[in-house]
Amino acid sequence: MSEHRLPPGPRMPAAMQSVGWWARPIAFLERARARFGKTFTVKLLGQSPFVVISDPADLKAVFTADPDVLHPGEGARILEPIVGPTSILLLDGSRHLSQRKLVLPAFHGKKMEALSEVVTEVAEREISSWPEGGQPLHPRMQKLTLAVIMRAVFGLERGERFDRLISVLTEMMEFGTSPLSLLPPFQRDWIPGGSWPRFRAARAAADAEIYGLIAERRAAGDAAEGDDVLSTLLLATHEDGEPMSKEEIRDELLTLLVAGHETTATELAWCFERLVRNPRVLARLVAEIDAGGGDYVTATVRETLRRRPVLPMAQPRKVESPFELGGRVYEPGANLFPSAYLVQHDDGIYPDPYEFRPERFLDQDPGTYTWIPFGGGRRRCIGASFAMLEMDIVLRALLSRSEVRATSRGVELAARRGITVSPSLGAEVALTPRVNAPAAPEPAAVS
């Protein structure tokens, strides 16, 4: 599509827009909206222009478009070295749908109930090892959500294999946090000082561990017994009755790890960053947790995801055939980029959008196209319910045990870390044991 037919946007050179986009993404989005409105075009170095959209009617049209017309998978292609070619993040059209159908059952009904117990166990264990005093919560949350994924997705408890796999996976994911290393020109063995050879070695080691795990589980034939996601994938079959290949299973496990670990950890870090700076909300939340209630906890999780979406943008959708939106026809090659941050900070939808106020979700469920921290349509986050369940469990576990206070008065800025936007100081808080901690429930009588 010729560029002059795209909506107007910042006129700075692409290099300067890229710096703003990477260094201060939220300020960049706010400034562009103030100048150009809910829809504008952003130009980033080495990429075709992105049209940022944030009007609920446009979001609905994009999320419900024909899967052959808009392709989100293309935008995630840079993740291929980590997640592999059959990852649902990367596929489009019918191949995406059939792969997604194989993974979805792992996060439904009974499976989720079983996962809830697993998450509670892991969260309690992790949190009980945290020291008192001032500390950034983000790294602690990262360790916690990684342990949760290893158990809930891979079925692994702490032990030698757990440690080996965590060590190589962490090395692979570190590679993914550098924007340069994800660009194909930098993925060469011969670049002096480049991290590509180390990454390839870590990936080979991770693959060997995961294939070993799959082979053992298949040989033991106990897949049906497991409550983890791997069990579901081992039993899943394609439409022609064929089981998933070990490469496909590996790709989806890695996808769930990459998509589900850092996002949830960062969202939890933001939740506490917001809570300690909003003592009224914190006090009400603690009272609700002590009373065993649920509505205010859910509302707090939803408000965190509104106020601080860790992915301020869903995946960009590449236009494959002419697509009409808001009175304009987008030609193949254009990219439509739904913004959760902007629609969730639209004062026509959310009064006082910069206030952290869970009450807004007490009488009203979030709207499908006005609350989109998990994206939407056929690409909506597969782990959304799981992530919210995990946040609920961690909030309860930590606030029942500890008093949480701010260590500074200033607000933590939104800083980019890889693809997520996280609190600039790592969500610094002070933890002290609660003097009035609620009594532990009586153990159930055994008859």
Residue 197 or residue 367: which is nearer to ligand HEM going by CB?
A: 367
- Window of 157-165, 233-241, 372-380, 398-406 that interacts with ligand HEM by CB under 6 A: 372-380
Say how far apart CA 262 and CA 387 lie, in whole Å: 11
User: For residue 133, is it left (φ>0), alpha (ψ between -120 and 50) or beta?
Assistant: left
Residue 271 or residue 429: which is nearer to ligand HEM going by CB?
A: 271
Say how far apart CA 314 and CA 263 lie, in whole Å: 13
Q: What is the CA radius of gyration of the chain?
A: 22
State yes or no: residue 382 binds ligand HEM (CB under 6 A).
Answer: yes
State yes or no: residue 72 binds ligand HEM (CB under 6 A).
Answer: yes
- Window of 7-15, 23-31, 231-239, 378-386 that interacts with ligand HEM by CB under 6 A: 378-386
Residue 238 or residue 434: which is nearer to ligand HEM going by CB?
A: 238
Residue 286 or residue 382: which is nearer to ligand HEM going by CB?
A: 382
Contact set for ligand HEM, span 247-286 (CB under 6 A): 255-256, 259-260, 263-264, 267
Residue 95 or residue 328: which is nearer to ligand HEM going by CB?
A: 95
Find tokens 């946007």 and name the residue: 9
- DSSP reduced 3-state for 415: strand
Dihedral of alpha carbons 94, 100, 104, 106, sign: positive
Q: Is 284 exposed, middle or buried (0-12, 13-18, 19+ CB in 10 A)?
A: middle
DSSP designation for 91: -
State yes or no: residue 380 binds ligand HEM (CB under 6 A).
Answer: yes
- Find the binder of ligand HEM among 314, 334, 395, 398 (CB under 6 A): 314
CB of 98 to ligand HEM, least distance (A): 11
State yes or no: residue 214 binds ligand HEM (CB under 6 A).
Answer: no
- Find the binder of ligand HEM among 20, 49, 373, 423 (CB under 6 A): 373
Q: How many beta carbons lie within 10 A of that of residue 392, not counting itself?
A: 18
State yes or no: residue 383 binds ligand HEM (CB under 6 A).
Answer: yes
Residue 42 or residue 311: which is nearer to ligand HEM going by CB?
A: 311
- DSSP reduced 3-state for 278: coil
Say how far apart CA 170 and CA 163 lie, in whole Å: 10
Residue 139 or residue 438: which is nearer to ligand HEM going by CB?
A: 139
The vertex-154 CA angle with 213 and 302, nearest 5°, equals 170
Q: Where are the beta strands (DSSP E) in 65-193?
A: 70-71, 133-136
CB 385 within 8 A of CB 107: yes
Letters for 78-97 (x = contact with ligand HEM by CB under 6 A, - = none) are: ----------xx--------
- Helices H / strands E in the chain, number of each: 15, 12
CB of 74 to ligand HEM, least distance (A): 12
162 CA to centre of own chain? 22
CB 148 within 8 A of CB 439: no
CB of 283 to ligand HEM, least distance (A): 24
User: For residue 172, is it left (φ>0), alpha (ψ between -120 and 50) or beta?
Assistant: alpha
- Find the binder of ligand HEM among 138, 360, 379, 396 (CB under 6 A): 379
Find tokens 């697509």 and name the residue: 323
- Find the binder of ligand HEM among 168, 173, 253, 387 (CB under 6 A): 387
Instruction: List the beta bridge partners of residue 422.
Output: 415
Tell which residue, 365, 302, 311, 364, has the closest CA to residue 341: 311
State yes or no: residue 394 binds ligand HEM (CB under 6 A).
Answer: no
CB of 439 to ligand HEM, least distance (A): 31
- Find the binder of ligand HEM among 202, 310, 319, 395 (CB under 6 A): 310
Residue 406 or residue 421: which is nearer to ligand HEM going by CB?
A: 421
State yes or no: residue 232 binds ligand HEM (CB under 6 A).
Answer: no
> What's the chain's length in residues?
447
Letters for 171-210 (x = contact with ligand HEM by CB under 6 A, - = none) are: ----------------------------------------
State yes or no: residue 381 binds ligand HEM (CB under 6 A).
Answer: yes
Number of amino acids touching ligand HEM (CB under 6 A):
26
Token pair of 105, please?
């059952």
Q: What is the dihedral of CA 361, 362, 368, 371, to 10 degrees?
A: 10
State yes or no: residue 300 binds ligand HEM (CB under 6 A).
Answer: no
Q: What residues make contact with ligand HEM under the rule CB under 6 A?
A: 72, 88-89, 100, 255-256, 259-260, 263-264, 267, 310-311, 314-315, 373-376, 379-383, 386-387
